[in-house]
Copies of this chain bind each other. A is one copy, B any other.
Amino acid sequence: MDNDYLIKKAFSLAKKGRNLTGLNPMVGALIIKSGKIIGAGFHSQYGGPHAEVNAILDAESKGFKVMGSTLICSLEPCCHNNKKTPPCTDLIIKKGIKNLYYGALDLNPFVKGKGIEKLKNNNIKTTFIDYQQTNDELNRGSITVLTKKRPYVTLKICMTLDGMIYNQKTKNNSIGDSNQLKHANNLRRVHDSVLVGVETIIKDNPKLTFRGRGSKNFVQPRPVILDSNLRIPLDSHVIKFGNSPIIFTKKDKNSIKYRKLISLGCSVVSLQSLKPQLVLKNLVKNNLQATLIEGGARIFSSFLTTNMFDELVLYYSSNFMGTSGLNIGRSINKDYKIRKKMQLVKNIGNSVMMVFK
């Protein structure tokens, strides 16, 4: 078992925590003794035990003693107190673990090397196996919450070559081909929330769920709907699906619809305005760290022109819609130059995907 193999295994474990860790990073850990994996764990609940703790508990529950063992962590163990659980470093020291291999530094300013330092000072040998990029990509959500006080935001739209997102004549909203749709659906797998405007709910009645490979026991992203006047139909798929959708509205708590939605399991949040910054701040309050914004045009342009996104994903299907089309830019009132770098452009079926980030 080489180090790369073990670190990768730790990251595989980490990913099991997707959509379970709230604002925390996904972390995986392994305990190695006499060349064998004796324990494994991952962070699986916001406020619950960290990966290191779960791995130690796993080993001990099988009758192993972790004294003198090696700990493999995808991320630097925590060492700070101002949070729900005690520092992992203390437990590692107490349990007599002798070696640590870790894949990334924790960018949280309360940790950021201090965890490693503490372990070193307690005669634990620490070795960095550089998987920082893997971690930073996996945990872009929790990192963005730390650095920008808002979730990581992916702004996604699918349109025709002339920029149309909806056919006003046929009322047809289906733009992409099946390959493109599948590809776009996969984006939902790596976000803990999917945000749309109420117009999209009314027109398309989407489920907003990830339906690709591995979707069976998948913890689905939470639907988030911007709905100033609570126009959302009570029989919408997002409500019926029961994944406690968050509805942001300007209506107050005393409106009948508000109370009705609450009774149906929705989390309705009254805000003075539905400006992107305010909405995103409130998503953090709801322990969400990565939001996929799926339109429509008005939502798209408000997040675009206020620069409230980290990644822009555009799909172009290979057709023109012309005068029947509703243009993606119909709510954009000024020339908007994308300041991010184009990272990727490629064919997806008959469509083209462009990614700016």
A residues touching B (Cβ–Cβ < 8 Å)? 159-164, 167, 301, 304, 314, 316, 318-325, 327-338, 342, 345-347, 350, 352, 354, 356
Q: Which residue of B lies closest to A172 (CB)?
A: B335
Residues of B near A338 (CB, < 8 A) are 161, 318-320
Q: Which residue of B lies closest to A350 (CB)?
A: B342
Partner pick for A330 among B160, B318, B322, B334, CB 8 A cutoff: B322
Partner pick for A337 among B304, B319, B323, CB 8 A cutoff: B319
A179 shortest CB reach to chain B, Å: 12
A18 shortest CB reach to chain B, Å: 31
- Pair B161/A327 contact, Cβ less than 8 Å: no
Residues of B near A321 (CB, < 8 A) are 329, 332, 335-336
- Pair A318/B301 contact, Cβ less than 8 Å: no
Residues of B near A327 (CB, < 8 A) are 162-163, 327
19 A-B interface contacts by CB (under 8 A): A159-B163, A163-B164, A163-B327, A163-B329, A301-B322, A316-B316, A316-B354, A318-B338, A318-B356, A319-B335, A320-B332, A320-B335, A322-B330, A322-B331, A322-B333, A323-B329, A323-B333, A324-B334, A342-B347
Residues of B near A347 (CB, < 8 A) are 342, 345
Residues of B near A304 (CB, < 8 A) are 320
Partner pick for A161 among B163, B167, B318, B346, CB 8 A cutoff: B163
Residues of B near A323 (CB, < 8 A) are 329-333
Residues of B near A333 (CB, < 8 A) are 322-324
Q: How many copies does the complex hold?
A: 2
Residues of B near A163 (CB, < 8 A) are 159-164, 327, 329
Q: Which residue of B lies closest to A345 (CB)?
A: B352
Q: Sorted from nearest, which 10 A-B pairs have the closest CB atoms?
A: A322-B332, A163-B163, A162-B329, A162-B163, A322-B329, A319-B337, A320-B336, A318-B338, A162-B328, A345-B352
Partner pick for A320 among B322, B329, B346, B354, CB 8 A cutoff: B329
Q: Which residue of B lies closest to A323 (CB)?
A: B333
Residues of B near A301 (CB, < 8 A) are 320, 322
A338 shortest CB reach to chain B, Å: 5
A206 and B228 CA atoms in complex are apart in Å by 48
Partner pick for A345 among B167, B319, B332, B345, CB 8 A cutoff: B345
Residues of B near A342 (CB, < 8 A) are 318, 347, 350, 352
A314 and B335 CA atoms in complex are apart in Å by 20
- Pair A318/B332 contact, Cβ less than 8 Å: no
Residues of B near A350 (CB, < 8 A) are 342
Beyond A160-B329, A324-B334, 16 additional contacts (C-beta under 8 Å) are A161-B338, A162-B163, A162-B327, A163-B329, A167-B335, A301-B320, A320-B328, A320-B332, A320-B335, A320-B338, A321-B336, A323-B332, A323-B333, A325-B329, A345-B345, A345-B347
A37 and B237 CA atoms in complex are apart in Å by 77
Q: Which residue of B lies closest to A353 (CB)?
A: B345
Residues of B near A324 (CB, < 8 A) are 333-335
- Pair A161/B314 contact, Cβ less than 8 Å: yes
A144 shortest CB reach to chain B, Å: 22
Residues of B near A164 (CB, < 8 A) are 163, 329
A300 shortest CB reach to chain B, Å: 9
Residues of B near A162 (CB, < 8 A) are 159, 163, 327-329, 332
A311 and B347 CA atoms in complex are apart in Å by 17
